């Protein structure tokens, strides 16, 4: 027993030394909901972490915990990073909202950043990206490339973020082909390659020839590749998984934002705020347009540019809800508050929103 205690004491001492060395470095912590190898959501956040390391070199140190369940384990994982000396902590999934808030209250000197949530405090910022901007672009591409006039949409969980994406995709498609159909399958998971692949197969069997997805694995795209259909990468450029099927991908690019926030902490200018950026802040980026005719690629790039410059907003009226009632009239843009809580489909979507 004595020996063990001695060993522990020695090790503690060792850690103390390491801790003292690291004191003048900013430690940046990340909590990921999935494995960093998902090639989707968590993978992209981890790319952002690596970008921080590359940008700041010796001035920062980064740590992360992956595969953190959005339940009772989350608070412990976040608190561990805070206790480990992290000065800035990014929690990168919606389900971490209340645990992040609780830990933020316990550690007023640590800065927290929560992705996709809406609760903020003195030391807790929120940030998210307007992925729906990219979805409008791929909706237009889908309508141009589809022969059957039907797209399949592999959806994760029915939160406003996902519903907004489906609507934006549909509005884009309808701007090209007013009779376009979108079929939706909910897999009730953000990352489940088996279920995602099954959903994609079912959608192709029902007549879809373009697959869009709001789940994180490349599985739906791979199914499209196998079956000779086309699709779009999600979160990261997935061209390596589907060289013949991927038309483009909506890439979540967190690097620029993360670097800005780390810089702000280093400069002492960090303030709690809410950032919702899209093409304009380089948080959403389109992967190269591939496997499409030149004019489709050109028009897609032009549309992305129009959204970036603010010339066009995907949610510009008239927009009708699924039941036919008018959501907004001609020329009116749906406000951010409504977009953030969106829980209704636009007209023409062939699905009933699970509610």
Distance of CA 248 to the CA centre of its chain: 16
Figure out which of the listed residues 67, 263, 272, 291 binds other proteins, where binding follows CB under 8 A: 67
* Piece in contact with other proteins (CB under 8 A), picked from 7-15, 123-131, 203-211, 228-236: 7-15
Plot region of 268 (φ>0 → left; ψ -120 to 50 → alpha; else → beta): left
Q: Where are the beta strands (DSSP E) in 22-120?
A: 26-31, 60-65, 88-91, 111-115
Helix, strand counts (H, E) of the chain: 11, 15
The answer to the question of residue 12 lying near other proteins (CB under 8 A) is yes
**Span 147-176, contacts to other proteins by CB under 8 A:** 157-160
Half-sphere exposure of 185 (CA within 13 A, CB side): 22
- Which of 2, 23, 58, 72 forms a contact with other proteins (CB under 8 A)? 72
- Using DSSP's 3-state secondary structure scheme, residue 203 falls into helix
The reply to whether 186 sits near other proteins by the rule CB under 8 A is: no
Contact status: 98 vs other proteins (CB under 8 A): yes
Q: Is 22 in the site for other proteins (CB under 8 A)?
A: no
Which of 35, 193, 277, 348: binder of other proteins (CB under 8 A)? Answer: 35
In the block, residue with structure tokens 């498609």: 173
The SS3 assignment for 116 reads coil
Q: In the complex, what is the shortest distance from the CB of residue 270 to other proteins, in angstroms, rounded to a whole number?
A: 22
Q: Which is nearer to other proteins, 228 or 354 (CB)?
A: 354
Nearer to other proteins, 75 or 196 (CB): 75
φ/ψ (deg, to 5) at 64: -150, 160
Distance CA 135, CA 146 (A): 16
- Helix-strand-coil split of the chain, %, nearest 5: 45, 20, 35
| 59-67, 238-246, 257-265, 281-289 -> range binding other proteins (CB under 8 A) | 59-67
CB of 65 to other proteins, least distance (A): 5
Could you tell me which of 29, 46, 26, 6 has the C-alpha nearest to residue 235? 46
Does position 327 interact with other proteins (CB under 8 A)? The reply is no
Q: Whose CA is closest to 167, among 196, 201, 198, 133?
A: 133
CB of 306 to other proteins, least distance (A): 28
Site for other proteins contains 105 (CB under 8 A): no
Q: Which stretch binds other proteins (CB under 8 A): 79-87, 261-269, 302-310, 323-331?
A: 79-87
> Please, is 183 exposed, middle or buried when counting C-beta atoms within 10 Å of its C-beta (0-12, 13-18, 19+)?
middle
Instruction: Please pick, from the candidates 47, 53, 55, 84, the single residue that binds other proteins as defined by CB under 8 A.
Output: 84
Pairing of strands 111-115, 150-155: unpaired
Binding residue count for other proteins, defined by CB under 8 A: 42
Judged by the rule CB under 8 A, the positions of this chain that interact with other proteins are 4, 7-8, 11-12, 14, 29, 35, 63-67, 69-73, 75-77, 79-81, 83-84, 94-95, 97-98, 118, 157-160, 188, 340-343, 354-355
């Amino acid at each position: 027993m004595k020996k063990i205690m001695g060993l522990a004491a020695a090790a503690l001492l060792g850690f103390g030394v390491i801790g003292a060395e690291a004191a003048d470095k900013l430690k940046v912590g990340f909590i990921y909901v999935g494995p960093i190898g998902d090639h989707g959501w968590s993978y992209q956040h981890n790319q952002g972490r690596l970008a921080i390391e590359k940008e700041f070199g010796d001035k920062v140190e980064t740590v992360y915990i992956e595969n953190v369940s959005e339940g009772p384990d989350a608070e412990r994982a976040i608190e561990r990073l805070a206790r480990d000396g992290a000065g800035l902590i990014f929690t990168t999934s919606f389900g971490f909202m209340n645990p992040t808030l609780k830990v933020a209250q316990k550690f007023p000197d640590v800065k927290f950043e929560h992705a996709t949530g809406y609760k903020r405090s003195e030391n807790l910022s929120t940030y998210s990206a307007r992925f729906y901007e990219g979805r409008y672009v791929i909706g237009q591409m889908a309508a141009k490339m589809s022969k059957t006039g039907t797209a399949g949409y592999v959806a994760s969980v029915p939160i406003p973020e996902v519903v907004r994406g489906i609507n934006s995709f549909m509005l884009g498609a309808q701007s090209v082909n007013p009779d376009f159909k979108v079929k939706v399958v909910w897999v009730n998971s953000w990352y489940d390659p088996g279920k995602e692949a099954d959903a994609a197969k079912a959608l192709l069997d029902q007549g879809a020839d373009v697959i869009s997805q709001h789940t994180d694995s490349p599985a739906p795209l791979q199914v499209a590749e196998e079956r000779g259909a086309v699709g779009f990468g999600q979160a990261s450029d997935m061209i390596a998984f589907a060289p013949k099927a991927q038309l483009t991908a909506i890439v979540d690019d967190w690097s620029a934002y993360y670097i800005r926030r780390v810089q702000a902490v280093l400069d002492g200018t960090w303030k709690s705020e809410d950032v919702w950026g899209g093409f304009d802040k380089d948080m959403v980026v389109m992967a190269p347009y591939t496997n499409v005719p030149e004019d489709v690629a050109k028009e897609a790039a032009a549309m992305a540019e129009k959204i970036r410059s603010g010339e066009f907003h995907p949610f510009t009226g008239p927009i009708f809800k699924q039941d036919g009632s008018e959501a907004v009239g001609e020329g009116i843009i749906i406000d951010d508050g409504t977009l953030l809580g969106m829980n209704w489909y636009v007209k023409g979507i062939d699905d009933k929103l699970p509610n």
